[in-house]
Amino acid sequence: MGVLEVKNVSYYYSKDRMVLDGISESFESGKMYVILGPSGCGKTTLLSLLGGLDIPKEGQILFEGKELQKKGLEEHRRNHISFVFQNYNLIDYMTPMENVELTARQEALPVLEKLGLSRDEAKRNVLQLSGGQQQRVAIARALASGNPVILADEPTGNLDEDMAKEITRTFQETAKEYGKCVIIVSHSNEVAKQADVVFEMKYGKLNQVEV
């Protein structure tokens, strides 16, 4: 049984425009998943459902076998999953340390240092950091929360190629080293190449593919 399960999930804005069409899938701890697909295919919608930001029109999403809606979506967001976004989504008036402390269940600085930020950088305003560093702060926030699932929406979309590789590698290490279930939504094949499992979202369906 996966840590996160999707059972016959459908999502639509109107019945004639299905975004997700009866998807069923299971996501396990210690693995990095990448969901590929063109813009508007429903990748982010699926991520929102997995993250408890929205609820499916049909079907169920289970965390450790229990339906999200029954457990409570806020509870799910607080204790089970961590988001990493393309635009980092850090609190701009806080330092990296403080951003990590928002969710941290452990010391923030060691996590930041492990992800390559110096002590000095950890205490600057986040907006003074590079894009790659900001994304590391976002990942550090996810790691320090101790939540078992990390959902990343185009996490390398704003980064150059080298930095994108480094961040993807960090996600991979996170999955392996910390036993997290990392689900990345991307349209980058380079990111997909480093994943344990790759899905392609097409016409509202999720199909496992080889890259």
Partner 1 sequence: MGVWRRASLYLTRNKKKTMILFTILTFISTLVLLCVSVGNASNASIQDLRERMGGYFKIEMDFSQGKIGRIDDTLVQKVMDAGGIKAFNGTDIQYFKAEDFDLMPGRFTGEGDEKAKLTRFLGNTDSSLNEYFMLEYYILTEGRHIAPGDSGKAMISDALAEMNHLSVGDTVTVRFHEERLLDEQKESVTSHSLEVVGIYTIDIPQTIASVDTAECDIEENFIFTDTAFIREVYGEAGGGATDVYTLGAAFFVENPKELDSIMGNMMTWDDYNWEEYAVAKNNKTYEDSAAPLERLAGLVTMMVSVIAAVSAVMLSLILFLWMRERVHEIGVYLSIGIRKTGIIKQHLLENIQIAVAAFLLAWVISIVASGLTGQMIESSFVENSETEEQVSADLEIRIGVLELAEIAGFGALLILLSTGVSSVMVFKMQPRDILSKMS
Q: What angle do CA 142, 37, 159 make, to 5 degrees?
A: 50
Q: Position of tokens 């499916």?
A: 56
* Cβ distance to partner 1 smaller for residue 198 or 204: 204
* Cβ distance to partner 1 smaller for residue 18 or 53: 53
Question: In terms of residues, how long is the chain?
Answer: 211
Using CB under 8 A as the criterion, which residues of the chain lie in contact with partner 1 when the complex forms?
A: 48, 51, 53-54, 73-79, 82-83, 85-87, 89-94, 98, 101-104, 125, 141, 145
Q: What is the rounded distance in angstroms from the CA atom of residue 115 to the CA atom of residue 134?
A: 11
Cβ 79 to partner 1 shortest distance, Å: 7
Cβ 5 to partner 1 shortest distance, Å: 20
Cβ 130 to partner 1 shortest distance, Å: 19
Nearest to residue 59, comparing CAs of 204, 208, 199? 204
* Cβ distance to partner 1 smaller for residue 83 or 199: 83
Q: What is the rounded distance in angstroms from the CA atom of residue 24 to the CA atom of residue 20?
A: 10
* Cβ distance to partner 1 smaller for residue 90 or 198: 90
Q: Position of tokens 């923030």?
A: 108
Cβ 154 to partner 1 shortest distance, Å: 9
Q: Position of tokens 């907006």?
A: 127
